Amino acid sequence: MNEEFIGALREIVKEKGISADALFETIDEALVAAYKKNYAAVGSSAQNVRISLNRDNGEIHVYSQKVVVEDVYDDVTEIRLEDAKQIKPIYDLDDIVEIEVTPKNFGRVAAQLAKQMVVQRIKEAERNIIYNEFIEKEFDIITGTVIRKDKGNVFIDLGRIEAILGQNEQMPGEDYNFNEKLKLYIVEVKNTSKGAQVLVSRTHPGLVKRLFELEVPEIFEGVVEVKSISREAGSRTKIAVYSTDESIDPMGACVGPKGVRVQNIVNELKNEKIDIIKWSKLPEVYISNALSPAKVLEVEVDEESKSAKVIVDDNQLSLAIGKEGQNVRLAAKLTGWKIDIKSKSQVE
């Protein structure tokens, strides 16, 4: 080994962000393995060695280690006290004596094996660094670039890694064009034998929540809370919000000046409709709000079965139920209550 090799290692440490100690420990292990493989017969003293690598100039020294004893029963691992004191007078019983046994040209042999192990360790370290970076972003939002499609999956470039947007995580009717930038929700990060695998989604309700956190400072700061979200991706989302400060209107904060905040989110979700609902601890009020844009006349709740009977004007019935039952379905998911809607004339 030489100074060039050591210099190259230090550049790798700096560039890849890998621990220098971990890398040099790998080299130490490689040097011991190289020595035992090429110079040590099984049972010889070479099987019990310490190798010293100078981290500045690359010099290598191999030392056979022996325990100082009164009587030697195994000359592979033991040395008599008298013999030890001839090497260094301060040695005493049970001390470890190191005797240099560095072979000629050992550096060349060791460097070949060390390089192989270093390359392997660098790959492992890089995989771990990437995994640790993305596991911290699990359940968070990230921006990526579409790079290709394969077997129904869309592959997204996240910089240091490709993420997979599976078929079930793609918004209905949304096209994914090469080089298009998208905001995505990280649903899972796996540590596989081939490295980190990042699974992302465009349909997860968490995507809408994170988008509101990005657009609405009051949510990010915790003044406005997102209490619940129900979503049918690509079509409609209902989001229930609440303000801890009575002077701040949670719905107004989410809509933003001239509707700019919510419009930015709608644009990102390719014109998905978003109903912003005011949350209430009173089930009757919450359910009534959740059925927006329909106007509700009366809500009767049954706490035990967690079901509600809702009455609306005849001209509001279709609006309350929604196309193919979507509005009432989303309201039920949002509130966690079973909702049965009837018109005023039906009740009468």
Contact 7, 1 (CB under 8 A): no
The residue whose two tokens read 């301060």 is 90
The pTM (predicted TM-score) of the whole model is 0.74
Q: In terms of residues, how long is the chain? A: 348
66, amino acid identity: K
Q: What is the CATH number of domain 280-348?
A: 3.30.300.20
DSSP class of residue 101? -
Phi first, then psi, for residue 39 (nearest 5°) are: -130, -10
The residue whose two tokens read 């409709």 is 273
pLDDT, one tens digit per residue, over 72-103 is: 988 878 999 999 999 999 999 999 998 888 88
DSSP class of residue 17? T
Please state the CATH superfamily assignment of the domain spanning residues 137-201 in this structure. Nucleic acid-binding proteins (2.40.50.140)
**CA nearest neighbour of 334 among 276, 267, 248, 249:** 276
pLDDT, one tens digit per residue, over 277-332 is: 999 999 999 999 999 999 999 999 999 999 999 999 999 999 999 999 999 999 99
Q: Where are the alpha helices (DSSP H) in the chain?
A: 3-16, 20-39, 81-87, 106-135, 205-215, 217-220, 250-255, 260-268, 283-290, 317-321, 326-335, 344-347
Higher pLDDT, 56 or 235: 235
**CA nearest neighbour of 99 among 143, 69, 136, 65:** 65
In angstroms, how far apart are the furthest CA atoms of the chain?
113
The pLDDT assigned to 2 comes to 64
Q: What is the mean pLDDT of residues 222-236?
A: 97
List the single range of 48-62, 297-311, 333-347 with lowest mean pLDDT: 48-62
Domain 224-279 has CATH 3.30.300.20: yes
Q: What is the mean pLDDT of residues 163-175?
A: 95
Write down the mean pLDDT value for the chain.
90
Residue 114 pLDDT > 90, yes or no?
A: no
The pLDDT assigned to 4 comes to 72
Report the C-alpha gap between 330 and 237 in whole angstroms: 8
Q: What is the mean pLDDT of residues 129-156?
A: 95
Q: What is the mean pLDDT of residues 207-229?
A: 97
The pLDDT assigned to 30 comes to 80
Q: Which long-range contacts (CB under 8 A, 24 or more apart) does 174-178 make?
A: 174/202, 174/234, 174/270, 176/146, 176/149, 177/146, 178/146, 178/147, 178/148
Residue 43 pLDDT > 50, yes or no?
A: no
Q: What is the CATH number of domain 3-134?
A: 3.30.1480.10
The domain spans of the chain are: 3-134, 137-201, 224-279, 280-348
Neighbours of 37 (CB within 10 A): 10
pLDDT category at 45 given cuts 50, 70, 90 is very low
Within this chain, domains 224-279 and 280-348 share the same CATH topology: yes
Q: How far is CA 1 from CA 7, 24, 55, 100, 192, in A?
A: 11, 13, 10, 18, 34
The pLDDT assigned to 42 comes to 44
**CA nearest neighbour of 234 among 174, 281, 283, 288:** 174
